[in-house]
Amino acid sequence: MDIVTVTLFLSCLTCALVTGFVLTFAVIVMPGLSKLGDKEFIEAFKSMDEIIQNNHPIFLLTWMGSIASVLGAMVVAVYELGVIVCWPLLVIGLVYLIGVQGITVFIHLPLNSALQKIEVNAIDLRAISEQRLLFETRWNYFNRIRTIIAFAVTVALVVMLING
């Protein structure tokens, strides 16, 4: 197996894992949390996010591994095959880096950080409800987008791997 195939395989694997993660949030975690009251929703989300922010090793390896493997595959493909041959991989990689990782960095991380600062026992119920609505609506909207992008990228990477 050549180095391009290995890096493409690692990209498929790690992007599929990230896709599963964001998909799980889209179809199970957030709908489940939506059934909670405002205060409980915020506390539950903060608790889950805290695990991620504390650099859980498996999560960190998977999430950062997807970035490294996609970048690695792009660099290796350009070096081994040239830009003209590997332009589809470059486009797919950029779509992933911007559409999944970019949304995470510029939308989800700031939303999560803002939610972490909310002291539910220090503010009134109306303010808690407003904070939840602002957070949940925007978070879910952009998570759906990154889920679709992550899935499409994973499928495209698998097709590239199969077609070798």
Q: Are 143 and 22 in contact (CB under 8 A)?
A: yes
State the pLDDT at residue 55.
85
Q: What is the pLDDT of residues 32-43, one digit of tens each?
A: 999 999 999 999
Q: What is the pLDDT of residues 47-73, one digit of tens each?
A: 999 999 898 899 999 999 999 999 999
The full set of domain ranges for the chain reads 3-163
> Residue range 134-143: average pLDDT?
97
Q: What is the pLDDT of residues 59-118, one digit of tens each?
A: 999 999 999 999 999 999 999 989 898 999 999 999 999 999 999 999 999 999 999 999
State the pLDDT at residue 1.
73
Backbone angles phi, psi at 76, to 5 degrees: -60, -40
95, 26, 143, 93: CA torsion to nearest 10: -10
- Residue 23: name the closest of 119, 148, 117, 109 by CA: 148
State the pLDDT at residue 53.
87
Cα first-last separation, the chain = 11
Question: What does the chain come to in residues?
Answer: 164
pLDDT at 121 > cutoff 90? no
Whether the predicted model's global pTM rises above the 0.75 cut: yes
Query: Which pLDDT band holds residue 129 (cuts at 50, 70, 90)?
Result: very high
